[in-house]
Amino acid sequence: VPYLKNCSVVYTCESSGAQDAVHPVANGTVVWSGSTIDWVGPFNKLPAQFSADQAIDCRGGMAIPGLIDCHTHLAFGGWRENECTARIKGQSYADIANAGGGILSTVRDTRSQSQEQLVTRCFQHLNQISKLGVTTIEVKSGYGLDRATELRLLETYRDLAKTSPLTIVPTFLGAHVVPTEFTDKRSDYISLLCEELIPEIAERKLANFCDVFVEQGAFTVAEARQILITAQRYGLAPKLHIDQFHDLGAAFLAAELGAISADHLECSSDSGLKALAEAGVVAVILPFASMYTRQPFAQAQKMLSSGLQVAVATDFNPGSAPSYHLPFAMALACQMNGLTPAEALKGATINAAKAIGLTATHGSLEVGKCADIAIMNSSGIDMWLYHLEANSCFCTIKNGKELETK
């Protein structure tokens, strides 16, 4: 039976308590058999019946639940580094999109990729991501925007779920933007989503969630309502990208629909945040998107005082968040969104699990849950997100098995 030894502290991150209640166990250990946790507690209280015999040496470091990146756009073709440099020189996200850049340029690059090419590239990313201590990842489609490519992206995720050790949770984001060929007939594109793609994706079980980007230049609140109500009818739970650049009132839609999460929230109103809190919608903050688009950061303390549970994710995508480094996003969430390191830790573990419907099995170190554990070369959470080594994680354990992290 494997167990952790020489661990300075285990943060169990069970959901009870406030956002900063990460439930540290000093000199703790975790014991598991197969893929399931059997016991968590102080090392010197380990009951005799656990004949723990395969030690994983934490070398005085800390153990946390495997990190969960609950918002990424993992599969896409190409990159957009030139746009990033143009933004540094003063162009806005909207200027770039109007000049033919932005999401639509990635759509062109993605449509030209075969499934094999997409799988190969994603697999390489996932390999690096797992080395950071991430064991579960949500992945969105949305760079195809036609039937064939949206299905190809979701089939890519289905293939990765079989070949990658990580837990992969797919989301259909056909409503990312309206593709160029439908510019003058938006309602036809929405019909394609509602009458063809959503039913087919639900029937083939290619996605757990349906997401809509509500923003000027993307979709309106009324369009999002139509798409997400259809998705709910087919068993796909709603998620939304809202209030990133403009507050269009979409927080009230997320609350009305009982969305599992509302993501971005940089420009949310106080009343919008309150509505989300009352409806139990998880607030997902995406600090990389603010950093790379040079926009204000979401106000995480205001969310917490409104009664929201906050998750932190990378938003990994080639435009507004080209890094998949979740610990760096957590450090930004501390310095720029105002979370404490403990609050950020809960945001990338149990609250992230909540944002993708996995709390029963993932996101905390509790008896009966999956043995997904990251061991960090750091004495504690405050030290980890302050010093932020290139990669503090020296051991990622997924479903009870140590992954190759070198």
- Beta bridge pairs of residue 210: 172, 238
Sign of the CA dihedral with 39 first, then 41, 44, and 47 last: negative
Complex with Zn ion: residue 14 or 315, whichever CB lies closer: 315
Task: Give least dist CB 51 to Zn ion, A.
Answer: 46
Distance CA 196, CA 318 (A): 28
Complex with Zn ion: residue 355 or 374, whichever CB lies closer: 355
Distance CA 304, CA 377 (A): 29
315 binds Zn ion (CB under 5 A): yes
Task: Give least dist CB 84 to Zn ion, A.
Answer: 16
- Which residue shows structure tokens 């975790």? 30
In the chain, DSSP finds a helix count (H) and a strand count (E) of 16, 18
- Please choose, out of 42-50, 99-107, 120-128, 315-323, the segment that lies near Zn ion by the rule CB under 5 A: 315-323
- Please choose, out of 29-37, 254-262, 274-282, 312-320, the segment that lies near Zn ion by the rule CB under 5 A: 312-320
- Please choose, out of 179-187, 277-285, 308-316, 370-378, the segment that lies near Zn ion by the rule CB under 5 A: 308-316
Complex with Zn ion: residue 38 or 315, whichever CB lies closer: 315
Q: How many residues bind Zn ion (CB under 5 A)?
A: 1
Is residue 227 within 8 Å of residue 192, measured between CB atoms?
A: no
List b or e across 94-109, with b for residues whose CB sees 16 or more CB atoms inside 10 angstroms.
eebbeeebbbbbbbeb
Sign of the CA dihedral with 374 first, then 378, 382, and 387 last: negative
Task: Give least dist CB 173 to Zn ion, A.
Answer: 8
Distance CA 323, CA 43 (A): 37
Task: Give least dist CB 91 to Zn ion, A.
Answer: 20
**Residue nearest Zn ion by beta-carbon distance:** 315
215 binds Zn ion (CB under 5 A): no
Complex with Zn ion: residue 150 or 315, whichever CB lies closer: 315
- Annotate 108-144 with DSSP letters as a single string: HHHHT--HHHHHHHHHHHHHHHHHTTEEEEEEE--S-
- Please choose, out of 2-10, 37-45, 307-315, 386-394, the segment that lies near Zn ion by the rule CB under 5 A: 307-315
Complex with Zn ion: residue 132 or 218, whichever CB lies closer: 218
Give the 3-state secondary structure of residue 182.
Answer: helix
Contacts (Cβ under 8 Å, ≥6 apart) of 183 = none
Complex with Zn ion: residue 71 or 398, whichever CB lies closer: 71
Contacts (Cβ under 8 Å, ≥6 apart) of 344 = 312, 330, 331, 333, 334, 385
Complex with Zn ion: residue 73 or 398, whichever CB lies closer: 73
Residue 181 DSSP one-character state? G
Task: Give least dist CB 73 to Zn ion, A.
Answer: 6
69 binds Zn ion (CB under 5 A): no
Please report how the helices 221-233 and 250-257 are oriented relative to each other, as an axis angle in degrees rounded to 10.
Answer: 20
Phi, psi of 31 (to 5 degrees): -120, 135
- Annotate 58-69 with DSSP letters as a single string: -TT-EEEEPEEE
Residues 230-259 that bind Zn ion (CB under 5 A): none
Task: Give least dist CB 143 to Zn ion, A.
Answer: 11
- Please choose, out of 216-224, 267-275, 310-318, 324-332, the segment that lies near Zn ion by the rule CB under 5 A: 310-318
266 binds Zn ion (CB under 5 A): no
Complex with Zn ion: residue 22 or 356, whichever CB lies closer: 356
- Please choose, out of 198-206, 223-231, 299-307, 314-322, the segment that lies near Zn ion by the rule CB under 5 A: 314-322
Task: Give least dist CB 1 to Zn ion, A.
Answer: 40
Complex with Zn ion: residue 109 or 402, whichever CB lies closer: 109
Task: Give least dist CB 215 to Zn ion, A.
Answer: 11
Interface with Zn ion (CB under 5 A): 315
